[in-house]
Amino acid sequence: MTQVSRRGLILGGAALTLAGCAGDGRVTGSAAQIDGYVQEALTDMYAKFPGSQAFSQRAAGMLVIPNITKAGLFVAGAYGEGALLIGPATVDYYSFVSASFGLQIGAQRSTQVLFFMTPEVLRDFRTSDGFELGVDAEVAFRDEGGNFGLSSTTSNKPIVGIVFNQSGLIAGASLEGAKYSRLIR
């Protein structure tokens, strides 16, 4: 009988958890499917956060990732696909990938919208070979009972993000890195 290492057990558990969460078909899709999910996410965001529509009009561009799935057991991964909008037009498609390692277990789905507040930061995002979100961004989360506001405090950041529609539960603390890459659709 072979002895299973702790690392193999953890990685196997994480892989099974991820495989079990990828099942509703909304993670990847054609350009038309992504566009439909993006429009649903924007409609939902504008309804839940009334100030977000005026905020989006001030932004140079928005990246909308409507269906991010994250799951793991100690080692976690997340994936989603979305569209970059400049005004009302979709100009590119992007994937979101993140990995984290730490004391965590569970699975979660969410929607993420990044507002690029200056033409320079939007240009840097579009011309980079894979973009990693850094310290110059501010991300706001909204829980069911919590409040959310876009104010002058957030508007002085070059990138502002909203994470909403969380479902599922992932518990624990982790160190995480995220990467956005252009997709050909």
CB atoms within 10 A of CB 103: 9
3-state class of 128 per DSSP? Answer: coil
Are 180 and 130 in contact by the 8 Å Cβ rule? The answer is: yes
CB atoms within 10 A of CB 123: 13
Structure tokens at 182: 């252009």
pLDDT in tens, 153-176: 445 678 888 888 888 777 655 556
* Residues linked to residue 62 through DSSP beta bridges, in sequence order: 85, 115
Model confidence, pTM: 0.75
Structure tokens at 106: 């569970």
pLDDT in tens, 18-75: 444 444 444 467 999 999 999 999 999 999 888 888 889 999 999 999 999 999 888 8
